[in-house]
């Protein structure tokens, strides 16, 4: 793998990940761009003990360009159209988000009164372009391409974990307009948070109170029960959790406990690729339509609870039936109390019937 670092016209970092060592990455960004926005403002909610990022500059971010490839900011640049990627082709690209929720470009932050503490939204947000093919999707990537994406995820996790003030690195993909994507080109994002996220704190808290290894025992119990296992190989198991929140939700665990993506072996990365893409294709096969989903890697925080954490991926969709979506209405949005319309065992059966054999 060849890794090449360059910079965009406004100073943002861009990194090419190539399979070929002779890939030419000398193209430069010739655009004239506005100055980079300052980092968001973090405000503390004393009632929930959570940090909320206030990022007004994100209101102006790109929203569903209508011109397809001709207007896509994530396609390779052409002689007539300059995009976020100066090269005329690429394998995998990572670059700093132009409209970040967190960054190192600090501004001035003032006390807002009340009980809310205010501090800068230190960190970093990156975009990961999985392929230069605008019409593709993660489910269509070759095993070799998925492994290259995983190399990029691992590389960025290690790099971002070293930034002063970063406490957790989160790699994820939003797919589908129903989920809220603003650009349709196959891509994901990476957030380097200046705090440990609420979901991770909750899971690690449960693990610390459990008499044993909670994550490993959940995996072992699901593999033994079998009724909710969707797919498996020698190194990974994909299953619908017994208490799934979402209509179609799959958790994918490596059989060996590791804290984060950089800790995976080459064999484990290779084993993940075909299993994951087969599950994604099963999602699309359920109702014969492109399935909206969120794919989220749960990694150990940078400094806290690493001995308890267990790397795993959570994949879920808000589609519950043809033409029907699961909306987070009163109970879920206001109280955080989920009601699932699909039995996890039935969801697992439906997904198994669509998995490649």
CATH number for 242: 3.30.428.10
CA–CA gap between residue 118 and residue 40 (Å, rounded): 10
Is residue 15 domain-resident?
Answer: yes
Domain of residue 111: give its range.
2-195
- Residue 264 predicted with pLDDT over 70: yes
For residue 33, pLDDT over 90 is answered with yes
Q: Are the beta carbons of 232 and 238 closer than 8 angstroms?
A: yes
Please indicate, yes or no, whether residues 78 and 51 belong to a single structural domain of this protein.
yes
- Active-site residue (options: 57, 81, 88, 187): 187
163 and 206, same domain (yes or no): no
Task: Note whether 204 and 186 are same-domain residues.
Answer: no
Of 195, 215, 236, the residue at which a domain comes to its end is: 195
Q: Are residues 180 and 64 in the same domain?
A: yes
Asked, for residue 102, whether it belongs to a domain, the answer is: yes
Does some domain include residue 134? yes
- Both 189 and 130 in one domain: the answer is yes
Q: Who's near 96: CB < 8 A, 6+ residues apart?
A: 8, 12, 13, 14, 103, 124, 125, 126, 127
CA distance 328 to 352: 26
Beta bridge mates, 188 = 128
Q: What is the pLDDT of residue 335?
A: 95
* Average confidence (pLDDT) over 151-165: 98
Q: For residue 357, name the pLDDT band (cuts at 50, 70, 90).
A: low
Q: Are 194 and 122 in contact (CB under 8 A)?
A: yes
Is residue 180 located within the same domain as residue 204? no
Q: Is pLDDT of 352 > 70?
A: yes
107 assigned to some structural domain: yes
Question: What is the total count of domains within the chain?
Answer: 2
Residues across the chain: 357
356 Cβ neighbours under 8 A, 6+ residues apart: 278, 281, 282
- 160 and 147 part of one domain: yes
Residue 187 and residue 206 in one domain = no
- 357 inside domain: no
**Are residues 299 and 167 part of one domain?**
no
Residue among 155, 175, 149 at smallest CA distance from 270: 149
Tens-place pLDDT, residues 48-100: 999 999 998 887 777 677 667 788 999 999 999 999 999 999 999 999 999 99
Q: What is the pLDDT of residue 67?
A: 67
pLDDT of residue 60: 73
pLDDT (average), residues 125-143: 97
Does the active-site annotation cover 187? yes
Binding residues are 72, 75, 134, 185
Weakest-pLDDT range from 111-125, 136-150, 235-249 = 111-125
The pLDDT > 90 percentage for the chain reads 92
Q: From 167, 195, 223, give the residue that closes a domain.
A: 195
Say how many CA atoms lie within 13 Å of 307 toward its Cβ: 2
Is the residue at 8 inside a domain?
A: yes
Do the domain assignments include residue 17?
Answer: yes
Question: In whole angstroms, what is the distance from residue 103 CA to residue 78 CA?
Answer: 29
Residues 210-232 have pLDDT tens digits of 999 999 999 999 999 999 999 99
- What is the DSSP annotation of 79-115? SS---SB-SS--SEEEEE-SS-SS-S--------STT
Q: Give CA–CA dist 15/95, Å, rounded.
A: 6
Binding residues for Zn(2+): 72, 75, 134, 185
Contact between 17 and 26 (Cβ < 8 Å): no
The pLDDT, as a whole number, for residue 277 is 98
- Tens of pLDDT, residue by residue over 169-205, are 999 999 999 998 889 999 999 999 999 999 999 999 9
- Is 332 inside a domain boundary? yes
Cα 113 to Cα 209: distance, rounded to the nearest angstrom: 36
DSSP-derived secondary structure for 167-235? -EEEEEEEESTTTT-S--SSEEEEEEESS--HHHHHHHHHHHHSSS-HHHHHHHHHHHH-TTEEEE-SS
Mark whether 146 and 244 lie in a shared domain: no
- Whole-number Å distance between alpha carbons of 306 and 218: 18
Please report which confidence band the pLDDT of residue 327 belongs to, taking 50, 70 and 90 as the band edges: very high
Residue 57 has a pLDDT of 84
Three-state DSSP class for residue 150: helix
**What DSSP string describes 256-325?**
S--SSGGG--HHHHHHHHHHHHHHHHHHHHTTTSPPPEEEEEE---SSSSTTT---EEEEEESEEETTEE
Last residue of a domain, one of 171, 195, 219: 195
Mean residue pLDDT across the chain: 95
230 and 336 in a single domain? The answer is yes
Does 140 lie in the same domain as 246? no
């Amino acid at each position: 793998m060849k890794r090449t670092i360059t910079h965009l016209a406004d100073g943002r970092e861009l990194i090419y990940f190539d399979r070929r060592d002779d890939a030419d990455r000398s193209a430069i960004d010739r655009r004239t761009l506005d100055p980079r926005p300052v980092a968001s403002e973090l405000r503390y909610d004393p009632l929930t003990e959570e940090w909320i990022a206030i990022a007004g500059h994100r209101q102006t971010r790109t929203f569903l360009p209508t011109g397809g490839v001709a207007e896509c900011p994530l396609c390779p640049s052409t002689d007539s159209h300059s995009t976020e990627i100066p090269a005329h082709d690429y394998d995998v690209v990572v670059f700093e988000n132009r409209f970040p929720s967190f960054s190192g470009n600090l501004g001035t932050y003032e006390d807002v009164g009340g009980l809310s503490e205010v501090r800068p939204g230190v960190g970093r947000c990156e975009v990961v372009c999985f392929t230069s093919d605008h019409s593709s999707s993660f489910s269509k990537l070759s095993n070799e391409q998925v492994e290259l994406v995983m190399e990029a995820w691992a590389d960025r996790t290690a790099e971002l974990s070293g930034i002063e003030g970063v406490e957790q690195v989160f790699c994820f993909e939003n797919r589908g307009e129903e989920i809220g994507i603003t650009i349709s080109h196959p891509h994901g994002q990476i957030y380097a948070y200046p705090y440990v996220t609420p979901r991770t704190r909750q899971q690690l808290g449960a693990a610390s109170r459990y008499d044993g290894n909670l994550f490993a025992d959940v995996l072992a119990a699901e593999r033994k029960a079998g009724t909710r296992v969707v797919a498996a190989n020698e190194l990974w198991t994909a299953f619908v959790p017994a208490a799934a929140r979402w209509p179609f939700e799959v958790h994918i665990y490596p059989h060996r406990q590791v804290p984060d993506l950089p800790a995976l072996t080459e064999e484990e990365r290779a084993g993940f690729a075909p299993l994951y893409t087969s599950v994604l294709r099963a999602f699309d096969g359920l109702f014969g339509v492109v399935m909206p989903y969120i794919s989220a890697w749960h990694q150990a925080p940078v400094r806290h609870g690493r001995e308890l954490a267990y790397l795993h991926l959570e994949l879920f969709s808000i589609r519950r039936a043809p033409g029907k979506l699961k909306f987070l209405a009163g109970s879920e949005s206001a109280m955080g109390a989920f009601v699932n319309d699909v039995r996890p065992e039935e969801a697992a059966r439906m997904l198994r019937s669509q998995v490649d054999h």
